[in-house]
Amino acid sequence: MSFSWGVATSAYQIEGGGRLPSIWDTFTHDGDHIVDDSTGDVACDHVNRYAEDVALMAELGVTAYRFSISWPRVERDGTGFYDRLVDALLGRGIDPVATLFHWDLPQVLQDDGGWQRRDTAQRFAEYADRMGRALGDRVRLWLTLNEPVVHLVYGHMWGIHAPGLHLFDDPFPVAHHQLLGHGLAVAALRGHTASPIGIANSYSPAVAVGPDGTPESATDADRAAALAYDALHNRLFTDPILLGRYPDLTAFAGHERLAGLIRDGDLDAIAAPIDALGVNYYNPFGAGAPSAGNPLPYDMRLLAGYPLTYFGWPVVPGALRDLLVELRERYGAALPPIHVTENGCAYDDRLGPDGSCDDADRVSYLEAHVAAVREAVAAGVDVRGYFVWSLLDNFEWAEGFTKRFGLVHVDFATQRRTPKASYKWYRDQIARVSWDG
């Protein structure tokens, strides 16, 4: 299989209106949740400007585009928009890579309990079946869920993402039902497509550090905290899929309820074979012993000694190489081919007096991380694709429009798109490098 050079986006972050309400529509309109009080009501207006954006991808030279399908849009208007988008991509020689769920649950399902209810997993499978029937002959790679651990921790524990819950004492129904939904969706899609099917997980390697952010100062308590972080953030949504069992979660409140959630056949459904593992990587995290009042068994600490993005995340490209190698070593023959389905960085990008955007920091970041993927491949890891997050500056969840990840600058008042220096670098990279994964 040829190596895919791609870009990634998600529906709520770029599409704009015309859908039934999702939990993010409710969350952004209800209270002081977003840094700049913005919403995704218009975002990048991609639903009306998709032809322009596909032309930007074609000029960029990408061979694949990872997008997400808005479940609430499908519930309102059917699959028409996605039919047109997929056909436009194929017409430009770009492989459509579709993610079924990128955090924008229909609000009507949340009103019935959302992912806390087992029934949502079945509803998700029905939605997957519908999308498989509509697009199964044209989508080249399917991904069921995007970063379910982030949706769990940020949306259902810390409450800083939609739906804004604080389930520290009982988080595992949300985890189990997302996993079950994934497994049922895989089975539903199999009936409509021969394309590979997988999931896009977020991986953030855990480094035990002391209060000064260095591994050298870590204590035994810090190392135990890093193991707990790793179990939740890196293993919870991978071990059940690839190994058919949950990792050790005894450090977390509510862990004893997990056994009662698992019904006969659940783990078999969850562990149905997948053809691809999506790896979303941005940075490693320092983890240390929890401070007083922290309901989780670890504190997240900033790793010392690394440059930071505008988001305050450490830039550690070697950790991506190490992560890919560790996944192969951890899961062995159970590991399917990997696609790096998100990698990117936010900086304070501004247009210069001549109207250009010289985002040299992003060019440096991407160059180093692409090199890290190449090193992992040289070490024997089967990596089939690399997707930059993101094609466009977009609505960055709780950060609103204050964090720019795009290869293309977006003026949100006028919707004018301006390719940045990183766009031109990536275009040259794709044209220059022939890489069979």
Just list the catalytic residues: 147, 342
User: Could you tell me if residue 251 is left (phi over 0), alpha (psi between -120 and 50 degrees) or otherwise beta?
Assistant: alpha
User: Which residues lie across from 65 on neighbouring strands?
Assistant: 7, 96
d(CA 121, CA 77): 22
CA distances from 435 to 1, 193, 228, 387 (A): 10, 27, 37, 14
Q: Are 122 and 184 in contact (CB under 8 A)?
A: yes
CB distance 298 to 287 below 8 Å: yes
**DSSP state at residue 426:** H
Question: What's the rounded Cα separation, in Å, for the pair 360 and 303?
Answer: 23
DSSP three-state, residue 280: strand
The Cα 123–Cα 370 span in angstroms is 38
269 in Cβ contact with 177 (< 8 Å): no
CA angle 309/314/315 to nearest 5° reads 80
**Residue 277 near residue 338, CB atoms below 8 Å:** yes
Q: Which two tokens stand for residue 353?
A: 């007096």
Total Cβ atoms within 10 A of residue 165: 20
Write the single-letter amino acid at 405. Answer: F
Q: What are the two backbone dihedrals, phi and then psi, of residue 276, each rounded to the nearest 5 degrees? A: -155, 145
The angle subtended at Cα 146 by Cα 142 and Cα 149, nearest 5°, is 145
Sign of CA dihedral 261, 264, 267, 273: negative
Q: Is 165 helix (H, G, I), strand (E, B) or coil?
A: coil
Task: Decide: helix, strand or coil at residue 233.
Answer: helix
Tell me which residue of 405, 326, 335 sits closest to 372, measured CA to CA: 326
